[in-house]
Amino acid sequence: MSARTATPAATKNKTGGLLATIANNARQYGIVGALLVIVIVFQILTGGVLLKPNSFVSLIQQNAYVIILAIGMVMVIIATHIDLSVGSLVAFIGGVCALLMERQGVNWGLAIVISLAVGLIVGVWQGFWVAYVGIPGFITTLAGMLIFRGLATVIVGESVPITSESFRGIARNYLPNVLGWWGPFDGLTIVLGILCIAAFAWSQLRKRARAEKVGLVAEPMSLTIIKIVIAALAIGFVTYLLSSSGNADQGGTPVMLVIVGVLVLIYNFILTKTVFGRHVYAVGGNRKAAELSGINTKRVDFTLFVHMGFLSAVAAVCMLSRLASATAQVGEPRAHPTQKKAGMEFEMDAIAACFIGGTAVTGGIGTIPGAVVGAFVMGVINQGLSIMGVDTAIVKTIKGLVLLGAVAVDIMSKRKKS
């Protein structure tokens, strides 16, 4: 059938209806919608404080560790594993990094490299037990949680303050103001925002064109345009907040945001565009079928925990820079969740972010952008309730209810489809 004689039904089948496409992706769009609703609610409840420029930067800096850990956790969960050790590992590696700088006089840059190496070694250790000995990830990382919490307590003791201003600047500083100030706004941040909008629009149009080229069902052009417009508005608003943030000395794009953004882009590429990423989804979807198709499932499991160890080390460095002190004990019982020390309950925040972001409890389904959205949901709840002066115990209760609701929605949606 030629293009001229194609029936309307054939054309509809090729491009997909707008409402049908939205319905098929209701879970993903629903997560973003929920985040938007939560932001609006807390913006009202906090009297507009939540989305002030410096408050927004604080939200990013305080929740960077959740996003970094969630990047690795989502891959682990997709492959039907779990990692309960990341919080203790953050405490242990943070202690190692602090001791290297403050007790051994190691340059802060070299201390970071050594800390990342320690994270990789721990990932190899845990990956070996899971992949090649066959101990379930839950048990292996539960043991790791106890081992590394104990080691952190032994090596750190009460506290190791960080004196290096350069190291502490990782969490506090902004990108250099190389383009100057455009009125009250940072020029570099505005340029980066424009580039992000252009990159998103290009990626959506390219994705649709490639689907049509190979004969797959492409989403309606109207939906593509809607997504681009909404993304442009969101990115534009974030750009406005960032470009007008800071203090008398510096402002604009926080260094922490750059670190998180680079990690998200790299790992999203790994998970969606590489053979290893396809193997992760295959293993999570049906491990037995993956083995029969020739996938080395042991190598996949091993590599996943190595990545998780590396990302835990990155999170440890970022958190140590923010807290400016290494400690193996939790903070005061009534301290705000973002002031928790030494990775206490970090694994729960990362796991919750993944499930809230649409990762399936049974594995095989999940995305890194979804986990990032889930992390921001947790972060906005933390930040909003903190501004309102809500007790930490109530904050935990609300976060638990949000997690329970997200998983319940996932399970019920699967039942309806079946």
- Alpha carbons 97 and 110: distance in angstroms, whole number: 9
pLDDT tier, 220 (very low <50, low <70, confident <90, very high otherwise): confident
Q: φ and ψ at 254, to 5 degrees?
A: -65, 145
What is the predicted pLDDT for the residue at 393?
84
Asked if pLDDT for residue 277 goes beyond 70, the answer is yes
Tokens representing 337 are 């969740």
pLDDT of 409 over the 80 cut: no
The better pLDDT of the pair 22, 124 is held by 124
Mean pLDDT of the chain: 86
Q: Report how far residue 266's alpha carbon sits from residue 368's, in angstroms, rounded to the nearest whole number.
A: 10
Tens of pLDDT, residues 105-131? 999 999 999 999 999 999 999 999 999
Condensed to tens digits (0 to 9), the pLDDT of residues 364-408 reads: 889 999 999 999 998 899 888 888 888 888 888 888 888 888 778
Burial of residue 398 (CB within 10 Å: 0-12, 13-18, 19+) is: middle
Domain boundaries defined on the chain: 35-173+254-417
| Fold assignment, 35-173+254-417 | ABC transporter involved in vitamin B12 uptake, BtuC (1.10.3470)
Q: Which amino acid appears at position 314 of this protein? A: V
**Which is it for the CA torsion 306, 311, 314, 319, positive or negative?**
negative
- Identify which of 70, 147, 118, 129 has the alpha carbon closest to the alpha carbon of residue 301: 129
pTM attached to this predicted model: 0.88
* Angle in degrees, CA 38, 44, 46, rounded to 5: 95
